[in-house]
Amino acid sequence: MVQHRNALGRGLGSLISMDDAPARDTSAINEIDLAHISPNPDQPRTSFDETALDELASSIRELGIIQPLSLRKTGPDSYQIIAGERRYRAAQKAGLKSVPAYIRTANEAELTEMALIENIQREDLNAIEIALTFKKLIDRYELTQERLSERIGKKRATIANFLRLLKLPAEVQLGLRDKRVDMGHARALLSVDNPSVQLKIYKEILKQGLSVRKVEELAKAYQEGKNVKEAAQQQPASRLGNHDFDLLKKHLSAAFQTPVKFSCDRSGKGQITFSFASEEELTRLISMFDRGL
At 54, phi and psi to the nearest 5? Answer: -60, -40
Give phi and psi for 219, each to the nearest 5: -60, -40
Spatial separation of the C-alpha atoms in residues 173 and 176, rounded to whole Å: 5
- Active-site amino acid positions: 85
How many whole angstroms separate alpha carbon 237 and alpha carbon 193? 25
Q: What values do phi and psi take at 82, rounded to 5?
A: -95, -50
